[in-house]
Amino acid sequence: MFESLTDKLGGVFGKLGRRGTLTETDLDEALREVRLALLEADVNYKVARDFIKAVKARALTDAVVQSINPTQQVINIIHEELVALLGGEAPRIQRASHPPTIIMLVGLQGAGKTTTAAKLAVHMRRGGDRPLLIAADVYRPAAIEQLQQLGAQLDLNVFDEGQGDPREIVEHGLAEAKRLGSVVVIIDTAGRLHVDDEMMQEIRDLKSRFEPHEILLVADSMAGQDAVSAADAFHQAVEISGVVLTKIDGDARGGAALSIRAVTGAPIKFLGTGERADEFEAFHPDRLAGRILGQGDLATLAERAQAEFGEEDAATLQKRMQNGTFGLDDFLEQYKRVENMGSISQLLSMIPGMGNIKQQLDVDNLDEGFFSRVEAIISSMTPHERRHPEVIKGSRKRRISTGSGTSPQDVNQLLNQFKEAKKIMKAVSSGKMGGLLAGSR
């Protein structure tokens, strides 16, 4: 989502870093470009203005201007101000002193509210909770059916009574939660195509009657400043306690994420990072600020890897790397696991300094049909070729490409990607990632 903004900020910092000293004129010019980059990313203009003002006030001090590396000092200030803009510390879900904790999801149609309800339930179950979903969007039968289907697919408890009175449905659902011993209840409320009085009044009624511990607005990050306006309207009406930003894996420019907290005062609490149920994560302002500035996000990457790879598997992989027995079968197995962690470009963006390596690996092709193509190619190889890919030359490449329905160029591309990936993974396993990154610049 922030790729364009990250590239533009990288250009600004690169230009600034080539100057031996930092004058007020240099700073003004750089911050003017930063402001334009923020505006082009669809950040609210008042938010962008106040952000630049705060950065400049901190940067125009002798301690910064006369420091040994003033550019790095400015980058550090921008990082800190981004973290503050995004809310500072990572927000937590407010819990009931006596369960169940009631979480009510609100938002406009199309933002992904029903899907988010199921994703949030999966997320909280992973943390040890026993969630119950309540289908209270009674005006859209498809929403009730969708929640039921998601519940069946993900093994989640769903309570619904069809198209009845939402207040009675929620009341009966809370009784069911107590019967089941559910410690978290997630209510999927009705949405509209636009903000209207009827929708807001229904949400107010539900809030007044059941006093939810959290009212989370589900906002579509692709909507840009429209999402910010919707967040402001919902906050004015029912005082939302937080925001879930969906579709951040799309082509959004990122302005909603950087504007919502400043405009509404409500923190972003979760991010929907893809279509799968597990592509959902708690929001950490410092991590997102690091991604925006091209500094990576190793903490999130480590969390995803820990969830996908056990300690025993990681130790086995490291041993194969170190003794040189890592082959194409291992390559395919590991990349299948990596696929479960997110898109390749998204994962590489979490590693500091990976810009050049992303280009070497031809990330676009990795993301579009890469896994199915690689599996077909590797399946067409003999066991010896998989263990020793260096023996694959002209005639073998032609045979493999014919057997896999690909071209010799595809086989070449896979072998080159395997070499690069092996180099990276070996460096990671041996703790020499820094040297590899330095060599790639």
The predicted pLDDT at position 237 comes to 86
Q: Could you tell me the fold of the domain covering 101-294?
A: Rossmann fold (3.40.50)
The predicted pLDDT at position 152 comes to 96
The predicted pLDDT at position 223 comes to 77
User: Among 417, 414, 387, which residue's Cα sits nearest to residue 400?
Assistant: 414
The predicted pLDDT at position 306 comes to 64
Q: Are 427 and 379 in contact (CB under 8 A)?
A: no
The predicted pLDDT at position 51 comes to 93
Walk across the sheet containing 268-272 and list its strands: 157-159, 131-136, 184-189, 101-106, 214-220, 242-246, 268-272, 280-282
The predicted pLDDT at position 298 comes to 62
Give me the CATH code for the 300-440 domain, please.
Answer: 1.10.260.30
Give me the CATH code for the 3-85 domain, please.
Answer: 1.20.120.140
Ordered by start, the domain boundaries in the chain are 3-85, 101-294, 300-440
> What are the C-alpha distances in Å from 8 to residues 4, 29, 36, 49, 441?
6, 14, 9, 18, 18
Q: Are 119 and 272 in contact (CB under 8 A)?
A: yes
Q: What percent of the chain has pLDDT over 90?
A: 34
- At a CB cut-off of 8 Å and minimum separation 6, what does 42 contact? 224, 225, 252, 253, 254, 255, 256
Residue 243 carries which DSSP code? Answer: E
Residue 90 carries which DSSP code? Answer: P
Summarised one tens digit per residue, pLDDT across range 298-331 is 666 666 666 666 555 656 666 666 666 677 887 7
- What is the maximum span of the chain, computed from C-alpha positions, in angstroms? 74
Positions in the chain short of pLDDT 50: 356, 432-441
Taken as a whole, the chain contains a residue count of: 441
* Structure tokens, 4: 């364009």
The predicted pLDDT at position 290 comes to 84
Q: What SS3 class is residue 245? A: strand
Question: Long-range contacts for 333-341 (Cβ within 8 Å, ≥24 apart)?
Answer: 334/425, 335/370, 335/371, 335/374, 335/421, 336/371, 337/308, 337/309, 338/308, 339/371, 340/278, 340/308, 341/304, 341/305, 341/307, 341/308
* Structure tokens, 342: 């997110």
